Each structure stands twice: as C-alpha cells, then as structure tokens.
Amino acid sequence: MKHNALIPLLVTGAFMLMAGCGKSAEFKKMESDLFASVSAMHDDGMSLMNRERDLSAQIDDAIAGYDSMAAKFPKEFEGHSSDDLKAAKEKLAGAAASMKEWMAGMKPYDPAMDHAEVMAQLTKAKDGIAKVKNEFQDAFSSAAVALEAHKAFAEEITAKLAKTAKKVARK
C-alpha cells in the first residue's frame, strides 16, 4: 500500500524534473536556425530600405526634370505626364511603410518561451518579411520601368529639339 502512494509522487517528481530541464538541443537548434533566418531576412530588408530611398530620390529628380522640360516645351509634352513616376514612388513608399510596420510588430526572440510559441512567432515573422520583400521587388520593378520610360522620352524629346534647332539655325 505504501508503494502505491509513492508511485504518483515519483511520477510527479519525474515530470517536474523533465520540465525543469528545458528544451531539447534539437528544439533549441530549430529555434536558433529559424531566428538566424529571420535576422538575415531583416538585414536584407534594411538594405531594401536603402535602395528604396535611392530610387525615391531618382524619381524625385526625374519628376523635377520632367516638370521643367514640360514647362519649357508644353507642345512636345502634350499627352504625356509623370503619373507613372508618381505611382512608382507611392509603391516604394508603401513598401517602406510595410517594412516599418513589420518591424514595429516584431517581437524579440525569447529562448525561454515555449518551443511551439517560439516557432509560431518566428514563422509568422519570416512570412511577414518575405511578403515585404516581395512588395519591395514589385515597387523596384515599377520604379525601374517608369524611370527608363521617362529617360527614353527625355532623350527622344532632346533629339527632336536638337534637330529643330539645327533647322532653325540653317535658315
């Protein structure tokens, strides 16, 4: 009878001892690897933020150049606008805002937290930064297309104006 009373006590003690040992090495490695992946993606995201700033500045310069030329040569610019540049800049700003929102919602990694909770938190963070990265890539593509189109248009207008100036000079 005394042995029967000891069994629940020993089982409870064993569970408490196992719970006190913490996470297995395998769980710790899984968490560490996922955290490293999220951290690397965060670092990539920060470089994307720098690229976004650079492209935004290029777009600002392109808009200023477009507006200046359009004011001087309204006839040649009729039917054209800088709306695609402005839309590309808005996409860039949206991607940057998404990155800032992701960073604000990011919770610090706590190795003492339950393994399932850590994995869920880090997986959510990884999915979130992957979405932001895709948003940046889409914005970068739109910016590149708009900048290239306006560069080509400016070169075309400049060439036409140069031909017109030569004709006028010959007369």
> Considering only CA atoms, which of 55, 13, 51, 28 is closest in space to residue 122?
28
CA diameter of the chain: 123
| pLDDT score, position 168 | 63
| pLDDT score, position 47 | 93
| pLDDT score, position 123 | 93
| pLDDT score, position 90 | 97
| pLDDT score, position 169 | 63
| pLDDT score, position 29 | 92
* C-alpha span between 100 and 68 (Å, rounded): 34
| pLDDT score, position 10 | 39
| pLDDT score, position 21 | 56
* C-alpha span between 139 and 90 (Å, rounded): 9
Which residue type sits at 122? L
**Ramachandran category for residue 22: left, alpha or beta (phi over 0 → left; psi -120 to 50 → alpha):** left
Q: Could you list the beta-strand ranges (E) of 9-164.
A: none
| pLDDT score, position 106 | 86
Q: Low-confidence residues of the chain, pLDDT below 50?
A: 1-20
| pLDDT score, position 171 | 61
